[in-house]
Amino acid sequence: MNATMLLIFDALLLASIIGLAWAALASADARRSVILFIAFGLLLAVAWGRLLAPDVALAEAAIGAGLTGALLLAALQWQPRKTADTTNSEQPTHTLLETGFRWLVTLLCAALAGMLAWSLTQIDAGTAKDALANAVAANIDASGVSNPVTAVLLNFRAYDTLLELAVLLTAVLGIFALGPAQAGYRIAGPVFTSLTRWLTPLLILTAGYLLWVGAHAPGGAFQAGATLAAAGVVLRLAGRDQIGLPRGNALRIALGAGVGMFLLVGLALFALGRPFLGYPPAWAGALILLIETAAMLAIAATLVSAFIGGQPTEEKTRC
C-alpha cells in the first residue's frame, strides 16, 4: 500500500521535474524561464531528498532553488527587456547558426545521458559502489568527523575541495574584472523591511548551524556559505548599503580565506613531516572545522560579490 503510493508519488514528481525543465527551456521570455527554473530547483531538492541524498538536497535547496534564482533575476535586470510577459509572446526568429548550435547541445546532452545510462548498467551491485562506501566506512574513525560526506570532501578527497575553492576564487576575479558594483537598490517598503528583520538573523543562525552539524550529519561549508550569502542578498535587496560584506583588504582576505586556510593547514602539516593535508587523527576534527569555517566565509563572500555583480566600491571613494 505504502510502496504503491510512493511509486505514484515518484512518477508524479518525475513528470513535474521533466515538464518544468522542458517549459523553462522552451520559453521565449527570459523572465518566465527564470521563474520556471526556480520552481524546477525547488522540486529537484525534494527529489534528492526522496533519493535519500540529504546532502545533495541541502545544496540544491540553498544554491539551486534560492541563490541561483536571485542571481538570475538580478542578471535579467541588466538586460534590456524585449517582450512583455504574456503567454503568446511571438517566437524569436533563429538564424541557421543558432539552430545548429541548439542541435549540437541537444546531441551532446543526449550522448551524456546515454553514457550515464550505460555506466549504470555496468555497475554490478556489490562491486564498485559498495567498495567505495565500505572503504569510507572502514576509515571513518580516523577522519575526525562522523558524516561520511564531510569525511570524503574535507579529508579523504580534500584535494578536490581545495581545487573547487580555487575555481570559486578564479570566478570572483572574473566578476571583479567587470568593474565596480552598481549602487544598491532603493530602500524597500515597510513589508519587505520587516521581512528582512527576521529573515536575515534566521539565515545567519542557520548558516552557523549547518556548518557545525556538517561534522556528524548532512550539512557543511558549501551549504552554510550559500545560506550566509542569502542573508547578504536579502540585505542588498532591502536597499542597505552595508550588507556585511567587508571592503578593501578585508574583502580580499575573506575571498581568499578558503584556499588560504586549506594551504596553510596543508603546508603546516607538510612542515611537521606529514603528507600534504594528511591530518593527524587526533586533530582532524578541529582542523576540518577550521578549514570549513574559512571556506564558508569565502563562499559567502564570493556569492554576494556575484550577486552585486562587481567589485564593491571602496569606502573612501564613496560620496
Partner 1 sequence: MTELLAIVTLGLMFSLFLGLLRILRGPGAGNRMLAAQLIGTTGVAMLLLLSLLLDQYALIDVALILALLAAVAAAAFTGQQRESGHD
* Footprint of partner 1 (CB under 8 A): 1-2, 5-6, 8-9, 12-13, 16, 19-20, 23, 31-32, 35-36, 38-39, 42-43, 45-46, 48-50, 52, 54-55, 57-58, 61-62, 65-67, 69-70, 73-74, 76-77, 81, 85-87, 185-186, 188-189, 192, 195, 199, 202-203, 206, 210, 213, 217-219, 223, 226-227, 230, 233-234, 237
Q: How far is the CB of 238 from partner 1 (least distance, A)?
A: 8
Q: How far is the CB of 104 from partner 1 (least distance, A)?
A: 28
Pick between residue 43 and residue 297 the one whose CB is nearest to partner 1.
43
Amino acid at 9: F
Pick between residue 73 and residue 166 the one whose CB is nearest to partner 1.
73
Question: What cell numbers appear for 277 in the block?
Answer: 593535508
Pick between residue 184 and residue 285 the one whose CB is nearest to partner 1.
184
Task: Specify the 3-state DSSP secondary structure of 236.
Answer: helix
- CA distances (Å), origin 59, targets 12, 44, 68, 105: 23, 11, 11, 26
Pick between residue 234 and residue 259 the one whose CB is nearest to partner 1.
234
Q: How far is the CB of 50 from partner 1 (least distance, A)?
A: 6
Are the CB atoms for 153 and 58 separated by under 8 Å? Answer: no
Q: How far is the CB of 98 from partner 1 (least distance, A)?
A: 25
CA 317 to chain centre: 32
Pick between residue 2 and residue 93 the one whose CB is nearest to partner 1.
2
Annotate 251-286 with three-state secondary structure. HHHHHHHHHHHHHHHHHHHHHCCCCCCCCCHHHHHH
CA 233 to chain centre: 14
Q: How far is the CB of 42 from partner 1 (least distance, A)?
A: 5
Give the residue from 308, 192, 162 showing the smallest Cα distance to 247.
308
**Number of helices (H), then strands (E), in the chain:** 12, 0
Pick between residue 69 and residue 312 the one whose CB is nearest to partner 1.
69
Q: How far is the CB of 244 from partner 1 (least distance, A)?
A: 15
